[in-house]
């Protein structure tokens, strides 16, 4: 038996401002830091020894994990993987969701946000928001850095990394991943065998640990959000 704990980062500045964030490095709000602290306390109550920690390349997920580890008094070095990054929102990056809904329509914004294989227009590679112009990605080969992504694209990179680097550890070790709404949605699609319609309705709350108990053959025994007041429906379990 083992545990996989999935935590979406606490509220970020651009979450608060309702902007498409994607791969841009944005910090946590005070509320986001408080959400991370509560996540750490809820995990601590479970008395689970975490063997491996993973996060994306992004500050908001890294800072959330740092806060959690501080509360757990665990100084293990965590693995940062760009493959666990948020979905790249292409030319929508940095734009306000409400303003864009008024400009191009709520249905179109919903389609961009929730559809399986539709992606926004590519982000200009000269944009300061493009990952090739952000210092933390300087050692990532430019040919693998996207200009835009659909949820399907995000799913493919996240689950490939999970299969290659994390899955086998879960046969007898406990793992915590601090990542993002869409990278966690991608993992949930795989873990819970969601279809393309089910994934469109799955919401991942900020800073609320989803704890998944697994058998030695990696079958899900049970799962739950630790902060029950902010739990979202798991459409399959």
Structural domains in the chain, CATH included, are 2-89+150-230 (3.40.50.1240)
The predicted pLDDT at position 23 comes to 97
The predicted pLDDT at position 65 comes to 98
pLDDT tops 80 at residue 159: yes
Please, what is the average pLDDT of the chain?
A: 93
Q: Is 38 helix (H, G, I), strand (E, B) or coil?
A: helix
Distance CA 79, CA 114 (A): 29
pLDDT confidence bin for 234, thresholds 50/70/90: low
Question: 3 CB contacts (<8 Å, ≥6 apart)?
Answer: 46, 48, 174, 175, 211, 212, 213, 214
The predicted pLDDT at position 185 comes to 94
pLDDT tops 50 at residue 237: no
The two beta strands, 210-214 and 175-179, are unpaired
Question: 55 CB contacts (<8 Å, ≥6 apart)?
Answer: 61, 62, 64, 65, 78, 79, 80, 81, 84, 177, 178, 179
Question: 127 CB contacts (<8 Å, ≥6 apart)?
Answer: 93, 133
Task: Assess contact for 12 and 26: CB atoms under 8 A.
Answer: yes
Distance CA 213, CA 48 (A): 11
Q: What mean pLDDT do residues 197-220 have?
A: 92
pLDDT tops 50 at residue 219: yes
Length of the chain as a residue count: 237
Q: Which ranges constitute the DSSP H helices of 80-130? A: 97-104, 106-114
pLDDT confidence bin for 174, thresholds 50/70/90: very high
List residues with catalytic annotation. Answer: 9, 86
Distance CA 86, CA 226 (A): 22
pLDDT tops 60 at residue 22: yes
Task: Assess contact for 88 and 182: CB atoms under 8 A.
Answer: no
pLDDT confidence bin for 235, thresholds 50/70/90: low
pLDDT tops 80 at residue 71: yes
């Amino acid at each position: 038996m083992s545990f996989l704990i999935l935590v979406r980062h606490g509220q970020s500045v651009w979450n608060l401002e309702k902007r498409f964030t994607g791969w841009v490095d944005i910090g946590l709000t005070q509320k986001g830091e408080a959400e991370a602290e509560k996540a750490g306390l809820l995990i601590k109550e479970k008395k689970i020894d975490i063997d491996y920690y993973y996060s994306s390349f992004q500050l908001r997920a890294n800072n959330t994990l740092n806060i959690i580890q501080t509360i757990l008094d665990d100084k293990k070095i965590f693995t940062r993987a760009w493959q666990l990054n948020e979905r790249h929102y292409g030319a929508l990056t940095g734009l306000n969701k409400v303003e864009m809904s008024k400009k191009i329509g709520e249905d179109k914004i919903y389609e961009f946000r929730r559809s399986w294989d539709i992606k926004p227009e590519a982000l200009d590679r000269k944009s300061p928001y493009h990952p090739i112009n952000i210092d933390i990605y300087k050692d990532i080969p430019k040919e693998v850095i996207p200009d835009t992504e659909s949820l399907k694209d995000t799913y493919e990179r996240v689950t490939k990394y999970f299969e290659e680097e994390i899955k086998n550890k879960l046969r007898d070790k406990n793992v915590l991943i601090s990542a993002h709404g869409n990278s966690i949605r991608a993992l949930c699609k795989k873990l819970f065998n969601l279809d393309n319609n089910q994934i469109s309705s799955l919401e991942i709350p900020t800073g609320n640990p989803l704890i998944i108990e697994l058998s030695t053959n990696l079958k899900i025994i049970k799962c739950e959000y630790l902060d029950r007041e902010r739990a979202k429906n798991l459409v399959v379990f």
